[in-house]
Structure 1
Amino acid sequence: MREQFLVEVDTEKVTDLAMLNRLFTSWVEQVYHRRVHSETGQAPLERWMAGAPFPTPTLDALREAFRWSELRKVAKTATVSLQSNIYNVDPSLVGRQVELVFDPFDLTDIDVRFQQRSFGKATPHQITRHAHPKARPETPVAAPPAPTGIDYLRLIDTERTQELGQQINYEVFLPGPEPVEVVDLTEEGQ
């Protein structure tokens, strides 16, 4: 998207979010969804539709999918450490290796698992770091290349508008007034 769509956006001509959304929708529908992908050999729209119907994940499933985990051995004091933080865990886990499951951006909320079973939350005892050092927020990428001068997105938007205009116009099938017969009153018509 950054290398194909954003480089074409002319910030002087795009005056508001609605216009940007219209151009983006046109680009996605006319170009991106229809172009055959080099890895899959299919256009994204074709590949997507082959998988329908689509299940919607729950918020809990999404949250779980993006959590990290690390293994730690529980100390004699029923504590574990993670990134210089110390947490209290269930005393029955002393001496065992447990899995700590967490959001890398919030090291205050840790789930403790042993042999695929949950043993509840680890209670923060001493917190010195609130986020995992490898969890970096997204950083902006380098500035996009200079525009080419061709209004590529306008061309795609125009193509999409024309294509929408060629679709069936159902209004012509609605009943209307009866046609009027035209009578030619010129000399040749008599």
Structure 2
Amino acid sequence: MNDIDPKALFRLSVLGPLVSRERLGRGELQLIVRQLARQEYAIPGSRRRYISEKTLQAWYYAWRRHGLAGLSDRPRTTAGQSKLPAAIQSAVLAAKRENPRRSIRQIRLLLEAAGLVPHDTLSRCAVHRLLKAHGLSRIASPEVVPEEKRSFEAEHAGSIWYGDVMHGPTLSFGGRRTKTYLVSLMDDASRLIAHCAFCPAETALEVEGVLKQALLRRGIPVRLVVDNGAAYRASTLQGICARLSIRLVYCRPYAPEGKGKLERWHRTLREQFLAELDGSHIRDLADLNARLWAWVEEIYHRRPHTSLAGQTPLARYQQDLPRIRLLGPLAAQLDELFLHRISRLVRRNGTVSWAGRYFEVPYELSGQRVVLVVSPHTATVVRVESDTGQLLGAATPLDLVANTHRRRQRPAVAPATAAISAGPNLIELTHQRHYRLED
């Protein structure tokens, strides 16, 4: 008896509301498909979380025609059999064997130039299938070798951290639907979660907030491996890592296997935390994160992992505590390290704007470009600096009402001085000449 294709079982489970119905009324198919397309799924072998309506309909009709077998990815019965004419097949194979570095595009152009096929009629897919069937689809050259990929693990805790963002649940907070994103930092050697939190967005600000808490709790990693998303490419995050001597490493695009341990963590969180989460007790993000942190500390960190030879992540991490670089004196400077610096032009009324608010700076800076040192997490302006880092003064929130009673500074008037008699005066000379006063 053949094993059932796991993908077919998954697809059948997705189509449950459809296949369980004996008959669908008019318009019900589209309605149910639309509802299914809005849901999130843990799709086997994929990082995607949603399935399009077109794909769902294709699965449904395949199930209607062939049952469960229609939902499996079975190999083509015509695999290796080309529908191209024998003469064209021979020409394609001969062209490839003559020059193994020829691409499919070059082979098509060559056959068109030789008059063997009309222009733009030779299917690229047909050529690819033919070459693949004869073992010629890959470029045969000594310079081209398959990429070597090997499993690895950091020798000590604190050597490598991984960072990533996972799409979290959409919950109702105060009658408003809110999409959440889980930002996580994981230690490679111990699988310990340095810190994680559900956030309302996946921007650099949320990543920096999670990193700050992770540094306070688990020390400073040697390397931080992240993907190429905009949140991780932010100059502010790069600056923080540079000041803390953290080597920021970016994974290659479209290579999720580089962070397989984090993918496994996401799967565990979905299966064990999100599956048990009761949304009726969640009033806001603070409630959600409180439950997340309790589950991480009490269950995930204390459960033996087979990949750790039966050790728990917490025990494996504590085993390397003497090797971990702790913040130490840097803890007192951590807030300063996470401040952002933003260039602004001071208006003629001595104010600058940031985050939709106005702040007053020393009035003598009017018309000059300054650097605002801000705390993005508390939405406050700490001070004003020059481009070189010189302190220029404080910044206070603009209070229009208070300014009606504020005493203005006026420039001092220079004292009257005796008339300067040295040298001729153009106005006086003109006056004397016009009225002939010199007579």
Q: Normalising by structure 1, report the TM-score.
A: 0.43
Higher helix share: 2
Structure number having the greater strand percentage: 1
* Relative contact order, higher structure (CA 8 A, sep 6+): 1
